[in-house]
Every structure is written in structure tokens, then in C-alpha cells.
Amino acid sequence: MNILFISPNSPFESIGGVERYLVNLMDYFENKKEFEIIVVLPTSGKSYSEKKSHLTIYFDENLNLASGLGGKKAIPNKALLFSKEIENIIKKHDIEIICAENFHLGLPPAYSLLLNMVAGLNNIPLVLRVHSFATTPLQVELISQLMWKRISCVSKSVTGDCFHKGADIDSLLTDYLGVNTTTFKDNPNI
């Protein structure tokens, strides 16, 4: 199965919960032969890609929206270039499913809208993974009104929050992120 993960948060440029999850995800899938994993992350430099076994990472400058990079006027063009890159990745890697990490928070709405359009036009299921609560009306609408095949929440409290704010119960599910058993080992003395 060929899976595309897209995140506005890069473990190579910042530290946080989403970033830690991505590191664990990439480590886990790197040598899984039954999967081809493609990850798209922002970069503060020029766009490039790296391949490690069954894992390909695209570093996309159009996902980097740090201040001072053209301001609000640059967003529509960057979002359009991002969507074209996603379309190219879909075709090149024969992507079967797309998982967008925290898209309701980390990016302007144009990115979610264009990603939904690209996935729809290519008949690819699109999953939104929600790592944190929607706190604005726009974030709520991005979760509940777009064409996500599934809304995968990282905890029951996030799932409940999405449900109470209008997300379709049939598309909601809770997927706990798991534990990296290489780093955290069972301690029989506890």
C-alpha cells in the first residue's frame, strides 16, 4: 500500500507532539516492505526529497509559512504550488490514501481546500488526523465540512470535541498514537 502523509510540522525543524509522532511513524515504516510511505514536510530552504528504503520524504518550501516569507499575499500562490506538488507525488508514487496531519491548525484554509480537491479529483481517500482541539469557528468548519473520508483523532477527548462541534459521527474515530517500544521498554520492577 502506498500512503502519503502530509504535515505542516517538521520534526527536522521543530519539536512537539506532532513532530514526535512523525519521527516514530517514519522510523516504524522505514523498513516495512509491504508499504511505500511518502511524507511531505515543510522546509525553510529549497524543496528537495530523500529516499530511505521504503520511505520517501519530500521537503516542500511551499509548506513553510514562517513569518517574513511573503506574508498573506504569498499564501494563494504557495498553496497552489503545494497542490501541484501533491498531484505530482500522487501520480509518481501511485498513492492509495492520504493522511493530512493537523491541517485544520497548521495551515491557511486554502491548503485544506486544495488538498480536498486534489484527493477528490484523483479518487483517493483523504484522512484528517486531528492532534489537538479546534479553537476557532474556521478550524471547526475545516474539520466538519470538508470531504474527509475519516477524521482520525489522537484521543477520546479530541474525538468528543470534534463530535460536539459538528463532525459526522460516522467519519470520526480514535486512533491512539502508540508507544515507541525501542525508546520505552517494559520495566518489570514497576
Measured distance CA(180)–CA(138) in Å, rounded: 34
Q: How far is CA 163 from CA 107, 126, 158, in A?
A: 22, 19, 9
Q: Which residue has the higher pLDDT, 175 or 189?
A: 175
**Residue 158, by phi and psi: left (phi above 0), alpha (psi -120 to 50) or beta?**
alpha
184, part of any domain: no
Mean pLDDT of 74-95: 94
Helix, strand counts (H, E) of the chain = 6, 8
186, part of any domain: no
Q: Please give the pLDDT value at position 20.
A: 80
Amino acid (1-letter code) at residue 106 = G
- CATH number at 107 reads 3.40.50.2000
Which range of residues forms the domain containing residue 42? Answer: 2-174
The size of the chain, in residues, is 190
Q: Does the pLDDT value for residue 70 go beyond 90?
A: no
148, part of any domain: yes
The total of structural domains in the chain comes to 1
Phi–psi pair at 80, nearest 5 degrees: -65, -45
Cell of 116: 480536498
Amino acid (1-letter code) at residue 55 = L
42, part of any domain: yes
188, part of any domain: no
- Greatest mean pLDDT among 72-81, 157-166, 168-177 lies in 157-166
